[in-house]
Amino acid sequence: MFVIVVPDMRIELDVSLDPTLGCGQAHRWIKKGDIWEGVLGKEIISLKQTEDGFECSGTDDKAMILDYFRADDDLNEIYADCSKNDPYVASLAERCPGLRLLRQDPWECMATYLLATNANVKRIGCMVENVCKEFGKDLGGRHSFPTPEEIIDGKSRISNCRLGYRDERFVELAHRVADGDIDPYELRKMDYQGCVNMLLSIKGIGPKVADCIALFSMDHLEAFPIDARIGRMMKERYGQDGNYRDISDYARRRFGRYAGYAQELLYHSGFIDP
């Protein structure tokens, strides 16, 4: 089956879509042939890689696309900065050019990563799609990510999403956001530690998930999420085998203000190292 996409616009940007959209940062992107399909807000977006960026269909909001792909990030400067003390990370940057962090919607990222505990990437993607189909708006083949209010209004159907033990905490988060107890968009205005501390106050969010949310939606590029893969690498390559805080503090000292980019390169190394 061939997917034909008539582009609405061309985006010139130093980005490689495969590692950027396929490395587990965001969970609503699906690759169909050479097309990446995702949902941003209430629009179904299709992207196709080109030599100087990508073709984009499904929206005419160029500013939104550029913001999502963090077009304001100077990759050359960032890669040079986070790898200046680390030849291995420098080699990863050379072998995986165009790997970018994404600037996701804070509410969607927070709610999505609440589901990410003790689940692999495929399972997370299934849960997120179930939530969207159950509570989101039908966009014509895909569904929008639901608002807190949409989740609360339909909470009696939460078991349909097959979230397991995450049901209660997911609805609880929707209530806290809807009631104004937590404002995901205000967290962007906090410093890194303040943001993480607030995220840790949410039932079901631990240090790793808090760092993912801070990195992927809150503009805290110093965050360094440590999952099992990164934990093994930090032990084997860097001799760091302490608790989460000790390892993440070490990573921020070693890789600096762009430690999150170093983390993504290290995470992706499993796909590019022989």
Q: Does residue 2 surpass a pLDDT of 50?
A: no
What three-state secondary structure class fits 214? Answer: helix
Q: Where are the domains of the chain?
A: 9-95, 106-217
pTM of the entire structure?
0.93
What does the CA dihedral 145, 33, 79, 65 come to, rounded to 10 degrees?
A: -40
CA distance linking residue 221 with residue 75, whole number of Å:
13
CA distance linking residue 21 with residue 33, whole number of Å:
14
- Averaged confidence pLDDT in the chain: 94
**Residue 266: which of 76, 27, 26, 91 has the closest Cα?**
91
pLDDT digits (tens, 9 = 90+) for 207-233: 999 999 999 999 999 999 999 999 999
pLDDT digits (tens, 9 = 90+) for 160-195: 999 999 999 999 999 999 999 999 999 999 999 999
pLDDT digits (tens, 9 = 90+) for 38-92: 999 999 999 999 999 999 999 999 999 999 999 999 999 999 999 998 999 999 9
Q: Does residue 24 surpass a pLDDT of 50?
A: yes
Tokens 């205005």 belong to 189
Cβ neighbours around 245 below 10 Å, total: 10
pLDDT of residue 269: 85
CATH architecture type of domain 9-95: 2-Layer Sandwich (3.30)
Specify whether the CB–CB gap between 116 and 209 falls below 8 A.
Answer: yes
Q: Does residue 274 surpass a pLDDT of 60?
A: no
| Matching fold, domains 9-95 and 106-217 | no
The reply to whether CATH 1.10.340.30 applies to domain 106-217 is yes
